[in-house]
Amino acid sequence: MRIDKFLWSIRFYKTRSIAAEEIKKNRVSIGTSAVKSSKEVKEGDTIKIRKNQIDYKIKVIQIPKSRIGAKLVPLHIQDVTDKEQYELLKLRKMSQDYYRNKGEGRPTKKDRREMDEYVGNDIDSDFTDWDDFFGETGSEGEDED
């Protein structure tokens, strides 16, 4: 089976074209050499994949006939990725979620008020009269005829 089709069939990539693009960018290799999309995968091969800044390593146990369900993936591949790589992934996810959890969206009105209070934008409370804000607009700047 071709490597792009294999990576798609074991659900490593969502589409076959995405798998082919990643292979073209040299993010996939068998052993130590980079491969092309047409490279045939055999049982026992070790595939290295760079995805989301993590280096995954998988060992091919069995070649599937076509795309398989997620529960059947462990029957066809064995994950031999270093534990350090998963720790890096965990740290990156934690650093992204430091302010707001995923799905919370835009700041609420309460959040806005708290941010304004923290920043200290009290311009509105200091200047209640426009004349005071811009200075006196009397006869100083105008010429009388």
Alpha-carbon distance of 120 to 90, in angstroms, equals 36
- Residue 8 burial (10 A CB sphere; 0-12, 13-18, 19+): buried
E strand intervals along the chain: 28-30, 33-34, 46-51, 54-60, 77-79
> What number is the average pLDDT over the span 3-17?
91
Which long-range contacts link 136-143 to residues 24+ away (Cβ below 8 Å)? none
pLDDT at 118: 82
What are the structure tokens assigned to 12, written together?
């490593």
pLDDT at 96: 66
pLDDT at 21: 92
5 phi/psi in degrees, rounded to 5? -70, -40
pLDDT digits (tens, 9 = 90+) for 28-87: 999 888 899 888 999 988 999 998 888 899 999 999 998 999 899 899 999 888 888 888
Q: Is the pLDDT of residue 4 over 60?
A: yes
Local confidence band at 98 (pLDDT 50, 70, 90 cut-offs): low
Kindly report the length of the chain.
145
> What number is the average pLDDT over the span 125-140?
62
Is 50:36 a contact under the CB 8 Å cutoff?
Answer: no
pLDDT at 89: 84
Over the chain, what is the mean pLDDT?
81
